Amino acid sequence: MSTNFKLKHLLGIRELSADQITHLLDTAETFLDISKREIKKVPALRGRTVINLFFEASTRTRTSFEIAAKRLSADAVNISVSTSSVSKGETLLDTARNLEAMAPDCIVIRHSAAGAPGHLARVCNAAIVNAGDGAHEHPTQALLDALTIREHKGHLDGLKVALIGDILHSRVARSNVYLLSKLGATVSVAGPGTLVPPEFAGLIEQGVRVERKLEDAIVDADVVMILRVQRERQTEAFFPSMREYAVHYGLHLSHLSLAAPNAIVMHPGPMNRGIEVSSEIADGGRSLILDQVTNGVAVRMAVLYLLAGAGKQNGTKRTPAGKNGAQEKKERSGKLFA
């Protein structure tokens, strides 16, 4: 396992090296087993506090971070915008400073504004984890997608991944493009011209191809990732109707005959059944949609563990008081929970 993992915050995949990504994935792999046990809890983050600060709707991500924190024995506190003082006019910065005054080790933030987690990282001592900021990045989603691909294909390098749909508004697409290209996969994106940002065409050197037709992007793909039509971020009409979108960009079983023989299908959720994905695909044997959710807990455990636990980079003690050197070494080698 790589030892040069130095990260205080997790703001995006763009600023990570391939080694750091691999280290996160390797660490997540060691945590997968904990969720299969009868007693799903280890003491790795006992005495640490994780605050989940969510300013946007979330089912999977918020629950996943909460479960991850609890399985590591951290104290997890959830704040959603409707119950926070932001609804009374407090600024994000003031909210963060007040939360900091209660000495959390980690603040997990989801916000509709791109850059909000980076803003907090500049002023907070706690480790900041980006749980999705506007259309910018969603690093833990890309990591859980990569873990799922690795689990099924054994590796990422040399794979062809097709990303289909609303690329423009998708933080999932951005984080995935950075991660997949850093780990040697090639990416084909396809979506309506209005929903594929021009900068994607400039990423050819990083192994990204832009196709107009869904069918062209899927040819020989080992992985097909479908993206949700992000209606909440669409301020204008990007395509004539949902029905027309479904006709041109909805994935059906017949499309998979164009892909590589054992192609797998993924979707970050929540999915619009019958729009970007048919039920026969979503519930079929090629779909790894629920595996992604399972792996999300392990990825978030790894992130919290590395940022708020043994790998903590903020100058405070690296391990809980009283832990001896041998135990610390064992823990850092990732074998503590074997």
Residue ranges in contact with ligand ASP by CB under 6 A? 61, 132, 138, 141, 171-172, 228, 230, 268-269
- In the bound state with ligand ASP, the residue whose beta carbon lies nearer, of 17 and 112, is 112
CB of 152 to ligand ASP, least distance (A): 20
CB of 39 to ligand ASP, least distance (A): 29
CB of 228 to ligand ASP, least distance (A): 3
Measured CA to CA in angstroms, residue 335 lies from 57, 75, 326 at distances of 36, 23, 12
- In the bound state with ligand ASP, the residue whose beta carbon lies nearer, of 111 and 228, is 228
Helices (H), the chain: 18-31, 60-71, 92-100, 116-123, 139-153, 171-182, 214-218, 242-249, 279-282, 289-308, 325-332
Q: What's the number of CA atoms in the CB half-sphere (13 Å) around residue 207?
A: 19
Percentages helix, strand, coil for the chain (3-state, rounded to 5) are: 45, 15, 40
- In the bound state with ligand ASP, the residue whose beta carbon lies nearer, of 114 and 203, is 114
Q: Which of 276, 273, 272 lies closest to 255, judged by CA? A: 276
Q: How far apart are CA 235 and CA 157, in angstroms?
A: 37
CB of 134 to ligand ASP, least distance (A): 10
CB of 272 to ligand ASP, least distance (A): 9
**DSSP annotation of 239:** S
Q: How far apart are CA 233 and CA 174, in angstroms?
A: 15
Residue 226: other Cβ atoms inside 10 A:
27
CB of 61 to ligand ASP, least distance (A): 6
Do the beta carbons of residue 156 and residue 150 sit within 8 Å?
yes
Residue 241: other Cβ atoms inside 10 A:
9
- In the bound state with ligand ASP, the residue whose beta carbon lies nearer, of 121 and 229, is 229
Kindly report the backbone phi and psi dihedral angles of residue 255, in degrees, each rounded to the nearest multiple of 5, phi listed first.
-65, -30
The label of the residue with tokens 């660490």 reads 27
Q: Which residue is nearest to ligand ASP (CB)?
A: 228
- In the bound state with ligand ASP, the residue whose beta carbon lies nearer, of 84 and 230, is 230
- In the bound state with ligand ASP, the residue whose beta carbon lies nearer, of 299 and 310, is 299
- In the bound state with ligand ASP, the residue whose beta carbon lies nearer, of 47 and 270, is 270
CB of 81 to ligand ASP, least distance (A): 15
- In the bound state with ligand ASP, the residue whose beta carbon lies nearer, of 79 and 172, is 172
CB of 277 to ligand ASP, least distance (A): 12
CA 102 from centre of chain: 27
